[in-house]
Chain A
Amino acid sequence: MESGAGSSHLFDPMLELLDQIVGALGKVGITLPALVVQLFLLALVGAALYPVARAIAGRQQLPIALPAAVALVLAVIGLVYGIVDQALLPSYVSGVVASATPADVRVQLLDYQSRIVTMGEGRIDSDTGAFALYYRPWLDGPARTIVITGCRGTDSLKIDLPRAHVRAGTGSQRRYACAG
């Protein structure tokens, strides 16, 4: 497999942390679209920020309140940035699957909870193996995994998608080798 073009981003570590939080919520049974979870977290942080801000304004418990406020403000920035960032992501992920049986191959995108978020059949071009998978990153968050089925002799292939590739959209022609 050959990695496609895509630049790393200054805020990517923060976004990865957010991904982990959202993923952890999914594991405890909160299975909502990424945007809903993010807004919920934002409301939670905002609610926590209010008494801290009041404590600072009243100059009470400053040694605790100040660092807490800084942490909460950073969290708000991270969340807002994450929401804006995913709203600006390209609405599709493209690539090429090399396969001997292109008519059987199907490609799908999974979200942070391994749910299929792709719209459409997920077929590839019979000649070139090219595909473009549409989804709603503003609602479902960035695609995390690409799943390729229908390769001869293989049940399915699951490949993690780096955020840089998701961000590249059409600018990236990542190649996936189908066994068979």
Chain B
Amino acid sequence: MRAQADRLRALALLALVAALGTSAFAQTDFFGRVVSGADGAPVAAVKVAAELRGVNRDAGATDAEGRFRIDPSSLFGVQRRIGEPFMLFFSKSGFLTVSRQLQIGATPTEIRATLTPESEAVLEPAERERLDRLVRGGARGPLFLVPYDLPAEAANLSAAASTERLRANLERAIVTHVQSNSLISTGGAVGLSLLPLDAVKDVARLKSYGAHLKALAVITGFGALEDSGGRKQIVMSSTYVVVPTVASIDSFVIYVDDTLPADQLASPRLQERLSKLWGRTTVLALGMNEFRDARAAGDQARLRRVREYLRAERAGAGPGNDQFVTQLNRLIALLDREIRP
């Protein structure tokens, strides 16, 4: 009788030890850090989710230093599932989702997830290296002009010279607009750089260039030569891509089409149109940059100055600029939140 009781006690003890062991093993936490592939900086507010057997569970978000920690046992009740593979997902707007396959009960090791900006995903590694080579040596600036694809014979100029003339025009137009409204701390310079690349018509690629170069905007265009009643003219189409540098401001694109006499690439009419459209759009790009810097510096006076400036731009936007006004409103709303009464 006593021997039987001892045996039962031993069995109960064994069961307890086994249960505790399984429980401790199953309660392994997984932890790690999420960084940006663009600059290696930690990415905050990345949504972390876990999926096991088709069941997807929200596992919180990364903190300000990009750190996270999850406990699969609390998410799935995994005591019976030691060794089963499950997937962790890291997602944030503007980045490609990263997934990691792990095993329930595996030895905890720090997980490092690198998020690639969506806009950069289009670029091949060789293309990124080429861009890096081009901007090495100080050419990096807030705005980039990719060469226009213009028919050389149109203006009796080489394509490079035509683009250079456009660059000068564009810079003048933007500076005129910015200075006339005493914008911000640009000091009259907008840093428009000319990238000696092949002409690009693919907007997704332009966005990728912008994201990779950390630019505020990328501009390009192309022209086709037409013969109209014995007179040569260029049908021009320009593309201005605003690269978002502030979360919640979307990337957007403005197209301008125009027809010019072939020899009037530097005509006042073109300059006038560019001044209105490129100048105004650049204000938004520069405004985002100013907002980001002022917020980081905690400079309330500078934030107020940016808001006043953007409000003035909004008042002068006029009809037919809905997209521009929407983005302006978003930026102004962000400023409202940051500015103390």
Q: How many whole Å from B101's CB to the nearest CB in chain A? A: 4
Q: Is the CB of A125 within 8 A of B99?
A: yes
87-130 of chain A: CB within 8 A of chain B: 91-92, 94, 101, 103, 118-121, 123-128, 130
B319 within 8 Å of A (CB atoms): no
Contacts A94-B85, A103-B121: A119 and B54 contacting too (C-beta < 8 A)? yes
A131 within 8 Å of B (CB atoms): yes
B248 within 8 Å of A (CB atoms): no
Contacts A120-B54, A120-B56: A132 and B101 contacting too (C-beta < 8 A)? yes
Complex Cα spacing A8 to B101, Å: 29
Q: How large is the interface on A (under 10, 10 to 19, 20 to 34, 35 or more residues)?
A: 20 to 34
B97 within 8 Å of A (CB atoms): yes
Q: Is the CB of B56 within 8 A of A92?
A: no
Complex Cα spacing A124 to B87, Å: 8
A134 within 8 Å of B (CB atoms): yes
Q: Is the CB of B97 within 8 A of A103?
A: yes
Number of interface residues of B (CB under 8 A): 21
B116 contact set on A, CB distance < 8 A: 103
B324 within 8 Å of A (CB atoms): no
A156 within 8 Å of B (CB atoms): no
Q: Is the CB of A130 within 8 A of B101?
A: yes
A125 contact set on B, CB distance < 8 A: 87, 99-101
Report the nearest B residue to A135, measured CB to CB.
B54
A170 within 8 Å of B (CB atoms): yes
A118 contact set on B, CB distance < 8 A: 54
Report the nearest B residue to A103, measured CB to CB.
B96
Report the nearest A residue to B86, measured CB to CB.
A132
Report the nearest B residue to A170, measured CB to CB.
B85
Q: How many whole Å from A15's CB to the nearest CB in chain B? A: 25
B160 within 8 Å of A (CB atoms): no
Most buried by B among A94, A118, A123, A126: A126
Q: Is the CB of B99 within 8 A of A126?
A: yes
B121 contact set on A, CB distance < 8 A: 101, 103
Q: Is the CB of A91 within 8 A of B53?
A: yes
Across the interface, A120 reaches (CB within 8 A) one of B53, B83, B84, B100, namely B53
Q: Chain B, 284-321, contact with A by CB distance < 8 Å: what is the 0/1 string?
A: 00000000000000000000000000000000000000
Q: Is the interface of A mostly helix, strand, loop or mixed?
A: loop
Across the interface, B53 reaches (CB within 8 A) one of A101, A124, A134, namely A134
B96 contact set on A, CB distance < 8 A: 103
Contacts A92-B85, A103-B121, A132-B85: A126 and B54 contacting too (C-beta < 8 A)? no
Q: Is the CB of A126 within 8 A of B100?
A: yes
B204 within 8 Å of A (CB atoms): no
Report the nearest A residue to B125, measured CB to CB.
A100
Complex Cα spacing A1 to B285, Å: 49
Q: Is the CB of A120 within 8 A of B85?
A: no
Q: How many whole Å from A153's CB to the nearest CB in chain B? A: 13
Complex Cα spacing A134 to B84, Å: 10
Q: How many whole Å from A166's CB to the nearest CB in chain B? A: 16
Q: How many whole Å from B110's CB to the nearest CB in chain A? A: 14
B89 within 8 Å of A (CB atoms): yes
A91 contact set on B, CB distance < 8 A: 53
54-92 of chain B: CB within 8 A of chain A: 54-56, 83-87, 89
Q: How many whole Å from B87's CB to the nearest CB in chain A? A: 6
B54 contact set on A, CB distance < 8 A: 118-120, 134
Q: Is the CB of B98 within 8 A of A103?
A: yes
B51 within 8 Å of A (CB atoms): yes
Complex Cα spacing A87 to B86, Å: 21
Nearest 3 CB-CB pairings of A with B: A119-B54, A132-B85, A120-B54
Chain B residues packing against A (C-beta within 8 Å): 51-56, 83-87, 89, 96-101, 113, 116, 121
6 new A-B contacts, CB < 8 A, other than A92-B84, A125-B99, A127-B100, are A94-B85, A103-B121, A120-B54, A128-B101, A132-B85, A170-B83
Q: List 13 A-B contacts (CB under 8 A).
A: A91-B53, A92-B85, A103-B98, A103-B121, A120-B51, A120-B56, A123-B87, A123-B97, A124-B101, A125-B101, A131-B101, A132-B101, A134-B54
